[in-house]
Amino acid sequence: MLLRLVPEDTHIGFMRLRRFTLPLSAALSVLSIVLFFVVGLNFGIDFKGGSLIEIQTKDGPADVADLRERIGALGLGDVQIQEFGAPDEVLIRVVEQEGGEHAQQAVIAKIRSELGDTVEYRRVEIVGPTVSAELARTGTIAVLVAIFAILVYIWFRFEWQFAVGAVIATVHDVVLTIGLFAVLQLDFALSSIAAILTIVGYSLNDTVVVYDRVRENTRRYRKMPMPELLDLSVNQTLSRTIMTSLTTLLALVALYLFGGEVIRSFVFAMIWGILVGTYSSIYVAAPVLLFLGASRDGGAASTAATAESTG
């Protein structure tokens, strides 16, 4: 290999740290859940409802600061204004007003009156509370179905301890990501659900790579103690894990810096998810197998050992 960020033959004792990493992960997960219920998420218009107006300025790049000042003076409540694509394209989001659809239409009329014919209106949408509630419900269902599918998939591919371990690691990543949204009050929109589902897929992929190596090593080293075997498996996949995470992070950092305000919260959540997912595949998914009783006395390990001894 021309590029190797991690030495080929590492002997890092990951399992020795499990007494610290697992309680730390549990504490952070509980804290994230508490923050979710106490502080709450900063739901975007996708979930709260409101008006969305996409405009394009006719006289060059948009002055976002001036637009914020002018529209903010209309007294419409929570208003989000950000560049959307090209420098002359702007996305205006206004929180749902009391009074139903007529109040929403009045908001659009006020903004049109304020901006006049200096801009071109490319898109005007009203997201009602019923649609918002449905989006929140279907988004939650999507995450739960994905986690359940992981449980079934890993259960059939490995043993139940591996399935539960993979779900624990995945739920850990999802909960910590939601905790991040609660702490930083990032805009939580449909794109945030997409980010969480992407993190679920990434975390699962990383965990399965480690579990695959664990299964191979249980057949190869029948007398090695389980903690040492897990350390060996994680070390053997460490180079692949680091390389995958780093290349993904490089792309995400570029998107965060140059992708614009519209996707910034989505990309930030993805960066956090990659970091947490890499951590959990090493310090959560593997150590959990020990606490769930995975050993060569049962499950895949003993089956492989029996087949090899009778073969």
What are the pLDDT digits (tens) for 241-296? 888 888 889 999 998 888 766 678 889 889 999 999 999 988 998 888 888 876 55
- State pTM to two decimals: 0.75
Specify the CATH architecture of the domain 14-42+132-310. Up-down Bundle (1.20)
Examine the pLDDT at 301 and tell me if it is beyond 60: no
CB–CB of 256/262 below 8 Å?
no
What are the pLDDT digits (tens) for 36-91? 999 888 877 777 777 888 888 888 888 888 888 888 888 877 777 877 777 888 88
The pLDDT score that the predictor gives to residue 177 is: 93
Dihedrals φ, ψ of 59, to 5°? -115, 50
**Cα-only R_g, the chain:** 25
Half-sphere exposure of 27 (CA within 13 A, CB side): 6
205: which residues sit within 8 A by CB, 6+ positions away? none
Which ranges in the chain are annotated with CATH 1.20.1640.10?
A: 14-42+132-310
CATH match of 50-127 with 3.40.228.10: no
Which ranges in the chain are annotated with CATH 3.30.70.3400?
A: 50-127
CA angle 245–247–249, rounded 5-degree value: 65
CB–CB of 237/281 below 8 Å?
no
Q: Which of 81, 139, 86 is nearest to 114 (CA)?
A: 81
Q: How far apart are the first and last CA of the chain?
A: 36
The pLDDT score that the predictor gives to residue 299 is: 43
Helices 264-283 and 190-220 sit at what angle, rounded to 10 degrees? 20
Considering only residues 156 and 276, tell me which one the structure prediction assigns the higher pLDDT. 276
Dihedrals φ, ψ of 260, to 5°? 95, 165
* Rounded Cα gap, residues 58 and 178, in angstroms: 40
CA angle 189–193–194, rounded 5-degree value: 110
DSSP state of 73: T
